[in-house]
């Protein structure tokens, strides 16, 4: 590896700005709902299934408390993480959700820790939560006026000294490039024009890991792409197992309540897949724009999705380290504007996708990030 010649590796961790009540979640799921509601009520779905997963050092926090945000930033800094990627929700016509945390971070200037946004441009549906296909918040791209309003909302963040930039270009990640392309293929061009009009050299637009690396991101207006390698290695395992639909799950629950015994073959089975095999088979390849490796520490979204969920088994710091080694090896062969290493995720507790310490694993996963940065 040509690590001696490498730019500094900058790990960036996806960050969910939830964990506080909002009126919409109160309406959809009940008063006071947060992701902790799902995390706390989770049950093991088979023998040996480790649920619920309990937070350790930070507890069941409320992100409205500034001290919690400071503790998170200090913890991330201590373990080698360069910054957070806050999910940002703008649905069109000025409609936002979960914007409070970022607004307070901007207004207070705290924590003094780098951040950028990933615009999570997709429709919110209740399909994974027992509400069938009910649309909760629809992602739209209604007008040029809305694009200007969206940019003007983001502009004070872009100007903040903590906002992550590539040269003089604020980094903005787009979660679903194809959705944006179909909704308004010129959205990015208009954003770039507005950035230049407001004193920046440009924007650095990065596509997320959601979609395959083979799409033509260059012609769609992107500068960078988060690698799809983990999902690509995961897909054969996902396709090899059958989904249990929400309707099937609740039908079987009703049978249980009524004391109707099910035949063995009819019992619902949650899908489990071996992360060690996925990590072994994962290979980073180049998109036609700068490509940044992504690693995934762990996954169990059954607290949110029940029998519709997926569990990655055989998680361990060793398997995580194997992914990190591949990521560093990939970066060592690149001459990117920056050496971003994308971590999924800091605090997706209801997906079992966390770097924050839990009671079982403590700091063992985030410790691997610290080690590889030191090395």
Confidence at residue 180, expressed as pLDDT on a 0 to 100 scale: 98
Mean pLDDT of 18-46: 95
Confidence at residue 236, expressed as pLDDT on a 0 to 100 scale: 82
CA distance 239 to 231: 12
Q: Which residues, 6 or more positions from 339, have their beta carbon under 8 angstroms from its beta carbon?
A: 6, 7, 8, 9, 10, 331
The CATH code of domain 10-240+271-374 reads 3.20.20.80
Cα angle 283, 289, 295; round to 5: 35
CA distance 104 to 30: 25
In percent, the amount of the chain with pLDDT more than 90 equals 82
DSSP 156: H
Element (H or E) spanning 277, and its range?
Answer: helix 275-281
Band of pLDDT at residue 270, cut at 50, 70 and 90: confident
Locate 208 and state its tokens.
């997320």
Q: Is the pLDDT score of 260 beyond 50?
A: yes
60: left (phi over 0), alpha (psi -120 to 50) or beta: beta
Q: Is the pLDDT score of 133 beyond 70?
A: no
- Domain range summary for the chain, segments of one domain joined by +: 10-240+271-374
Q: Evaluate whether 33 touches 24 at the Cβ level (below 8 Å).
A: no
Q: Which residue has the higher pLDDT, 309 or 112?
A: 112
CA distance 40 to 85: 25
Confidence at residue 1, expressed as pLDDT on a 0 to 100 scale: 40
Q: What is the pTM of this model?
A: 0.91
Per the prediction, the chain carries an average pLDDT of: 91
CA distance 199 to 30: 45
* Among the listed residues 227, 164, 154, 160, the one whose alpha carbon sits nearest the alpha carbon of residue 195: 154
Confidence at residue 247, expressed as pLDDT on a 0 to 100 scale: 54
Mean pLDDT of 238-256: 54
């Amino acid at each position: 590896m040509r690590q001696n010649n490498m730019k500094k590796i900058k790990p960036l961790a996806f960050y969910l700005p939830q964990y506080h009540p909002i009126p919409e979640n109160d309406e959809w799921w009940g008063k006071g709902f947060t992701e902790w509601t799902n995390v706390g009520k989770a049950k093991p779905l088979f023998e040996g299934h480790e649920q619920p997963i309990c937070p350790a050092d930070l507890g069941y926090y409320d992100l409205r408390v500034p001290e919690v945000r400071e503790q998170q930033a200090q913890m991330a800094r201590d373990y080698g993480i360069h910054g957070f990627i806050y999910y940002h929700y703008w649905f069109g016509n000025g409609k936002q959700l979960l914007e409070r945390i970022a607004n307070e971070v901007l207004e207070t200037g705290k924590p003094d820790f780098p951040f950028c946004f990933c615009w999570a441009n997709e429709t919110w549906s209740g399909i994974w939560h027992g509400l069938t296909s009910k649309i909760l918040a629809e992602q739209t791209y209604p007008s040029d006026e809305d694009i200007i309003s969206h940019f003007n909302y983001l502009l004070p963040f872009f100007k903040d000294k903590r906002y992550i930039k590539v040269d003089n270009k604020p980094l903005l990640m787009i979660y679903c490039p194809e959705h944006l392309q179909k909704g308004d293929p010129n959205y990015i061009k208009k954003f770039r024009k507005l950035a230049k009009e407001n004193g920046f050299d440009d924007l650095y637009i990065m596509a997320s890991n959601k979609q395959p690396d083979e799409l033509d991101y260059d012609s769609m207006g992107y500068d960078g792409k988060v690698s799809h390698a983990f999902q690509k290695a995961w897909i054969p395992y996902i396709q090899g197992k059958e989904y249990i639909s929400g309707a099937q799950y609740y039908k079987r629950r009703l049978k249980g309540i009524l004391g109707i015994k099910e035949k063995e073959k009819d019992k619902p089975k949650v899908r489990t897949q071996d992360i060690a095999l996925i990590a072994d088979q994962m290979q980073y390849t180049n998109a036609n724009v700068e490509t940044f490796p992504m690693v995934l520490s762990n996954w169990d979204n059954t607290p949110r999705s029940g029998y519709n969920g997926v569990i990655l088994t055989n998680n361990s710091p060793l398997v995580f380290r194997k992914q990190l080694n591949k990521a560093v090896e990939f970066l060592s062969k690149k001459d990117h504007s920056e050496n971003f290493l994308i971590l999924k995720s800091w605090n997706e507790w209801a997906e079992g996708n966390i770097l924050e310490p839990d009671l079982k694993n403590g700091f063992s996963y985030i410790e691997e990030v610290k080690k590889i940065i030191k090395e």
